[in-house]
Amino acid sequence: MSLRPDLKLIADLIEPGSRVLDVGCGDGALLAHLDAEKQVDGRGLEISQQGVNASVGRGLFVMQGDADNDLAEYPDASFDYVVLSKTLQAVHRPRDVLLELLRIGNKAVVTIPNFGHWRVRMSLLARGRMPVTKSLSKAWFDTDNIHFCTILDLFELLDAENIKIARFVPHTKTGKELNTGGLGANWFADQALFLLEN
């Protein structure tokens, strides 16, 4: 089973045997991988019926719901890791969601598409219109992605909320890690992974 490169980066951070909640788990690919390879006690939260059915068919346990509305129902510290993969930009209240992740989980793994990437910046500069790229393929009025941020934006928010960054992994679309600090990453990383702790 080959795992999407960005999910592989997440999987590598998870300790075997831990309790994992994957928020926006899609078809359950990450959880199934973690279940098979790391014997985690995994749970999912997924809004689409298609995703729920695919996950359940894999033997996973998934609640239909989303990050904005359903995290409040989970007890404090009920998971070792809560994963939010490329979803933060699509929630209504990203700040509240981040705090919820770290209430429910001892650690949170958050990945974001980086709106500060040079191609996005060039596109906005040259075309004067909201960038539409392969990974951000919908027009501004149509997109589910309503709260885009750059890597530096997220650093700033985490700092303001006193959230500790245990790992920062800027990477390309193919999951290649970039050996650079925040400023360089903000120009050159398509995506970034943050391992967060209280």
Q: Does 60 bind another protein (CB under 8 A)?
A: yes
On whether the CB atoms of residues 107 and 20 are closer than 8 A, the answer is: no
Q: Does 62 bind another protein (CB under 8 A)?
A: yes
Part of the chain binding another protein (CB under 8 A), chosen from 4-12, 57-65, 139-147, 184-192: 57-65
SS3 state of residue 64: strand
Q: Does 43 bind another protein (CB under 8 A)?
A: yes
In whole angstroms, the minimum distance from the beta carbon of 82 to another protein comes to: 13
Q: Which residues contact 46 (CB under 8 A, 6 or more apart)?
A: 24, 25, 26, 28, 52, 55, 62, 63, 64, 65
Part of the chain binding another protein (CB under 8 A), chosen from 3-11, 73-81, 95-103, 185-193: 73-81
Question: What token pair was written down for 13?
Answer: 């951070």
Residue 170 has φ and ψ, to the nearest 5°, of -75, 140
Question: What token pair was written down for 188?
Answer: 């050159």
Q: Is the Cα torsion angle 69, 193, 62, 135 positive or negative in sign?
A: positive
Part of the chain binding another protein (CB under 8 A), chosen from 56-64, 110-118, 155-163, 187-195: 56-64
In whole angstroms, the minimum distance from the beta carbon of 28 to another protein comes to: 10
Instruction: Say how many residues touch another protein, by CB under 8 A.
Output: 20
Can you tell me which of 23, 30, 34, 74 binds another protein, judged by CB under 8 A?
74
Q: Does 53 bind another protein (CB under 8 A)?
A: yes
Q: Does 52 bind another protein (CB under 8 A)?
A: yes
AA identity, residue 93:
R
Can you tell me which of 36, 37, 57, 166 binds another protein, judged by CB under 8 A?
57
Q: Does 58 bind another protein (CB under 8 A)?
A: yes
171-191: burial string, b at 16+ Cβ within 10 Å, e else: beeebeebeeebeebbbbbbb
Positions in the binding site for another protein (CB under 8 A): 43, 49, 52-65, 73-75, 78
